[in-house]
Structure 1
Amino acid sequence: MKTLIVAASQRQDSQSSRLAGIVNSRYFEGAADLLHMADKPLPEWDGTGFERDDVKSVKARVEAADALVIVVPEWNGMAPSAIKNFFLWNGLTELAHKPALLIAVSASAGGAYVINEMRTSSYKNSRLLYLPEHLIYRNAGDLWQSEEPTKSDSYLAARTEYAVNLLKAYAEAMKPVRKLALATMGDFTNGMS
């Protein structure tokens, strides 16, 4: 299974990037493709530029993935603009009927608004299939930092393993569905609203 992990923070050395790396090493044995929004891999969306090499490169990485893990920080109760930009550039061809695990990252006790925002605004036309499960990494600066795991570290490690195992199962199960959906979509390329 090919997995793309998107670290959605626009900040270098962010908790989202650190935690995306940990998810990759612990749960994908370092084999997932890691896309850092802090590296500015895509230009700001303006509806043009589809032939740019940087855009084609990112779109190819997304399309090659069987599943996605999207690690999104909560900034002032919202998802950062880089992840919205990611969804403007990537659509049906890259994402339709592809399973994705959402992980919210909060410096404090937040994170729920990001989950809601992503589920509400990023799947309609892309047809990305978010798992019913999601993860919220609260107090992220303390998570998985000490040699002796805290109760929260242990709980989130087990819950992450559970969610990643579900993602892998969804990815296998969705392969024929994705193929059928893309082949028969026809005139129904936009979701209904």
Structure 2
Amino acid sequence: MADDAAPAEPMASGDGNPTVGGAAMFANKTIVENAVNSPIHTTLVAAVKQAGLVETLSGEGPFTVFAPTDDAFAALPDGTVETVMMDENKDQLTKILTAHVIPGRLTVADLTKGLSGDQFNNFDTVSGDALSVQRTRGGNAYIFDENGNAWRVTTADVMQSNGVIHVVEGVLLPR
């Protein structure tokens, strides 16, 4: 895990919420309503639709969602996205997507509360998998999946009516 990049300084939308991929995110809209408008989350939106999670992530929540970008999905081994998007792999796709969701509305400050040095905070996801969070000396927050992959939060604290989104630079994979 390199820590040479400074924490992201997102631009704000008209309501003070960060923009994502240049698109305004509105705190009075749901996770799904905002994600649909993000030009860098088309693969994630397609996956959420394929997995049948639109209604859930449009629900009351609250949810904390770690949202991989299109580039994050593209970085997976060739054929991975196409394979998990097949109807017969819907359960696997659902497991992967719900491994990106923690119950509750947790900001990066909440996720990294009390951390110093090389410490981690651990969280259980909706899928039952574990995620760990670490804040580096450079101020970046990293999310670790059960396989030890660490992905930097590039845009934090994008508030939604039913939770919060943190944009991450990679796909979190359950064991």
User: Which of the five TM-score ranges fits, normalised by the shorter chain?
Assistant: under 0.3
- What is the TM-score with the length of structure 2 in the denominator? 0.26
- Choose between structure 1 and 2 for higher RCO, CA contacts under 8 A separated by at least 6 residues: 2
TM-score (norm 1): 0.24
Larger helix proportion of the pair: 1
